[in-house]
Amino acid sequence: MTGLANIAAALSARAVEAPDALALHVPVGREPDGRRRYVAYDYRTLDGESDRLARGLDAVGVGKGVRVALMVPPGFEFFALVFALFKAGAVPVMLDPGIGRHHLKACLAEAEPAAFIGVPKAHLARVVLGWAKASVRTLVTVGRRYLWGGHTLESLREAAERAGSGPFLAATAPDDVAAILFTSGSTGTPKGVVYRHRHFVEQVALIRATYGIEPGEIDLPTFPLFGLFDPALGMTTVVPDMDFTRPARLDPAHFLEVAQRFGATSCFGSPAVLDTLSRHGVAIGASSTAPVLATLRRVISAGAPVPGAVLERMRALLPESARIHTPYGATECLPVATIACDTILGETWAKTREGAGVCVGAPLPANDVRVIRIDDARLEAWSDELEVPRGTVGEITVLGPTTTDAYFEREDATRLAKLDHGGRARHRMGDLGYLDPEGRLWFCGRKAHRVRTAQGELYTAQVEGVFDAHPEVRRSALVGVGPKERARPVVWIEREPHARTAWPKLEEELRDLGAKHAHTRALDTFLAHPGFPVDIRHNAKIGYEALTREAERRLGRLASGTRGVT
């Protein structure tokens, strides 16, 4: 890609093409009947406001290349500010507020933003906790400004009026840094992924082509960053009234009501969101013959594998023509591969329950996916000798148009995760898997979570699929206790709410399940857990590190004769 590139140009193009088309529906209180009240904004309004704010930001020194911490909840101001920052050529620093105070402070100190844009609550936390204290010079408050000073959105608009009028778009090149997006930190401290303008442009093109998204569709996203693609795709975004840091606690009745009210055609939700929605569907007796989400054409779910049971329940909410897609990827490279619900339920889920891992589908044509030998060390450059034969479990690597090439200020992490492949960065996903004879990719678990025993290595997704097949198991988690190279494998079990089997009997049944497969035959240590720790972003990735520590404590108590809770 040569010349100029800026994802915000897609917003402006849509505003010219269809200025009166609705861009956003935002919740702003309650109707007299108790329902959420929504306010609509068209593309002309969103584009014009982002132009004004971009000009105002540039006028106060927040222009090209300036890193900006953005802590504003999803709504009109959030969308306008993100696109204003892109238009100004500034670099928004995006991270999940739910990652915890320690991680937030560390990530902001690492990113060294020169500006901080936030709601009053975020500014108060910044002052009290010292966030980015050494680097921030420019403050912008979205809402009422208190004693910390700086600018407001109104003062930015005034600065814009003094500086000029009309469209505003910085001349950004494809390789210019567009944003720093922090990972969820599910396997350690979050890392800032460097996104260049070409990455966003290519992502939008891939998503549109892969899922057949058309301008004028109505999207109901439960993950704010995914919702930011909507204006570039020409969609209307309906912002659900929810706590985006706890997606599993989504109010399913509200989601269904809003989807019906606005005629949503598309939605994005993590597996935890789909689990919540689908269980609600069972409770209300939903059926595909009279679907409660009758206008939906597609559901896209990512962040972790979606269990077949969740997909089966979710289908009952949808018309027969709708499709559920589960793309595979990561913040560093998305999307990599994709698979539809019909293929999962009709073929691959049965193999998952036999220990084959989770099929994540065929790699997108634009991506070159290779599986290499498992190695925790840094690999300098690509060599064909690294690649393992089809069907052999190894580390998944990707080279494609959305593959990012660096972590911000994390040279060691970048060297571990990136391979030079003919002058381009090939990303090591940190995931284990294999390609089957049809060229489909199967996920077997995170490399960091594999359990090395005296008898060989065990991979989480391959082991858990076997025990997840039990009707009273909601999910399982394999961890290793003891010396790293000779770990004792332990399987945690989180039971379904309806489970009634006594624990000793359930243990016996799980051992019987394991005995049917060579890789699970020797597993005999099972522990019950009331609810697994999960990641903040999607509420779906299991916290294996925390479960490992808890298993060590639990087994230590049992070994010492202390009564343990199962």
With residue 427 as reference, give the H or E element that holds it: strand 424-435
Q: Residue 563: what pLDDT?
A: 41
With bands split at pLDDT 50, 70 and 90, how would you rate the model's confidence at 566?
very low
Q: Residue 561: what pLDDT?
A: 54
Check whether 507 has a pLDDT greater than 70.
yes
With bands split at pLDDT 50, 70 and 90, how would you rate the model's confidence at 2?
low
| Cα–Cα distance measured from residue 309 to residue 203, given in angstroms and rounded to the nearest whole number | 30
Q: Residue 121: what pLDDT?
A: 95
pTM here? 0.94
- Provide the mean pLDDT of the chain: 94
Q: Residue 1: what pLDDT?
A: 64
With residue 272 as reference, give the H or E element that holds it: helix 271-283
Check whether 88 has a pLDDT greater than 50.
yes
Residue bearing the bigger pLDDT, 349 or 557: 349
Q: Residue 186: what pLDDT?
A: 64
With bands split at pLDDT 50, 70 and 90, how would you rate the model's confidence at 479?
very high
Check whether 295 has a pLDDT greater than 60.
yes
Radius of gyration in angstroms for the set of CA atoms belonging to the chain, rounded to a whole number: 24
Location of structure tokens 């949808």? 318
- What is the set of domains in the chain, with CATH numbers? 8-23+43-198 (3.40.50.12780), 450-559 (3.30.300.30)
| Cα–Cα distance measured from residue 273 to residue 291, given in angstroms and rounded to the nearest whole number | 18
Percent of residues, the chain, with pLDDT higher than 70: 97
Check whether 298 has a pLDDT greater than 70.
yes
| Cα–Cα distance measured from residue 263 to residue 246, given in angstroms and rounded to the nearest whole number | 25
Q: Residue 562: what pLDDT?
A: 47
With bands split at pLDDT 50, 70 and 90, how would you rate the model's confidence at 89?
very high
With bands split at pLDDT 50, 70 and 90, how would you rate the model's confidence at 263?
very high
Strands 177-182 and 192-196: antiparallel
Amino acid at 218: I
Check whether 557 has a pLDDT greater than 90.
no
Q: Which whole number is the average pLDDT over 269-298?
A: 92
Check whether 214 has a pLDDT greater than 90.
yes
Check whether 100 has a pLDDT greater than 80.
no
Q: Residue 33: what pLDDT?
A: 86
Q: Residue 536: what pLDDT?
A: 77
Tell me which of 78-87, 185-194, 381-390, 480-489 is least confident. 185-194
Check whether 46 has a pLDDT greater than 70.
yes
Check whether 173 has a pLDDT greater than 90.
yes
| Cα–Cα distance measured from residue 479 to residue 298, given in angstroms and rounded to the nearest whole number | 35
Other C-beta atoms lying within 10 Å of the C-beta of residue 287 = 11
| Cα–Cα distance measured from residue 318 to residue 51, given in angstroms and rounded to the nearest whole number | 39
Check whether 80 has a pLDDT greater than 80.
yes
